[in-house]
Amino acid sequence: MKTIMNRMLTVALAGVLPVALMAQQPKIGHLRAYDQTGINVFEDLKSDSVPFDGLKVRFGAGFTQQFQNLKHENPGALNNNVGAYPGVSGNKLKVITAGFQTAQANLFMDVQLADGIRLNVTSYLSSKHHNETWVKGGYIQFDKLPFKGKIWSDIMKITTIKIGHFEVDYGDEHYRRTDGGQALYNPFMEGNVMDEFATEIGGEVYVKKNGFFGMFGLTNGMIKGNVDSLYAAKNPDGNLHKSPSVLLKAGFDKKLADNVRLRMSLSYYGNQSSGGNTLFGGDRTGSNYQFVMEENSANPSSATGAGTPLAFSGRFNPGFSKKINAVMFNTFFKVSGFELFGTLETASGRSATETSNRTASQYAIDGVYRFGKKENLFIGARYNSVKAGLANNAAGTGAGPIVYTNDVTVNRFALAGGWFLTRNVLLKAEYVNQVYNNFPAADYRAGGKFYGYVIEAVVGF
Q: What is the bridge-based pairing of β-strands 377-388 and 408-422?
A: antiparallel
Q: How much is the pLDDT for 275? A: 84
Q: Round to whole Å and give the CA distance between 117 and 71.
A: 48
Classify residue 295 by its DSSP letter. B
Q: How much is the pLDDT for 88? A: 55
Three-class secondary structure of residue 36 per DSSP: helix
Residue pair 415/383 in contact (Cβ under 8 Å)? The answer is: no
Q: How much is the pLDDT for 256? A: 94
* Short-list 368, 430, 177, CA closest to 287: 177
* Short-list 61, 201, 39, 223, CA closest to 129: 223
List the helix and strand counts (H, then E) for the chain.
Answer: 2, 17
Residues of the chain with pLDDT under 70: 1-23, 84-89, 131, 229, 231-234, 297-309, 393-401
Residue pair 434/386 in contact (Cβ under 8 Å)? The answer is: no
Classify residue 79 as exposed, middle or buried by CB count within 10 Å of its CB (0-12, 13-18, 19+): middle
Residue ranges of the alpha helices (H) in 103-178?
Answer: 150-156
Q: Round to whole Å and give the CA distance between 273 and 242.
A: 5
Q: Which helix (H) or strand (E) holds 7?
A: helix 2-22
Cα distances from 103 to residues 18, 64, 203, 457, in angstroms, run 18, 6, 32, 10
Classify residue 10 by its DSSP letter. H
Q: How much is the pLDDT for 3? A: 43
Q: Round to whole Å and give the CA distance between 9 and 290.
A: 27
Q: How much is the pLDDT for 362? A: 98
Q: What are the boundaries of each domain within the chain?
A: 18-460
Dihedral of the alpha carbons of 265, 271, 274, 278, in degrees to the nearest 10: 20
Q: How much is the pLDDT for 232? A: 63
Cα distances from 338 to residues 378, 379, 420, in angstroms, run 9, 10, 17
Burial 357-393 (b: 16+ CB within 10 A, else e): ebebbbbbebbbbbeeeebbebebebebbbbbbbbee
Residues 6+ apart with CB under 8 A from 375: 337
The CATH number of the structural domain formed by 18-460 is 2.40.160.10
Residue pair 281/79 in contact (Cβ under 8 Å)? The answer is: no
Q: How much is the pLDDT for 132? A: 79
Q: How much is the pLDDT for 394? A: 52
Q: How much is the pLDDT for 259? A: 94
Q: How much is the pLDDT for 22? A: 44
Residue pair 434/314 in contact (Cβ under 8 Å)? The answer is: yes
Q: How much is the pLDDT for 27? A: 87
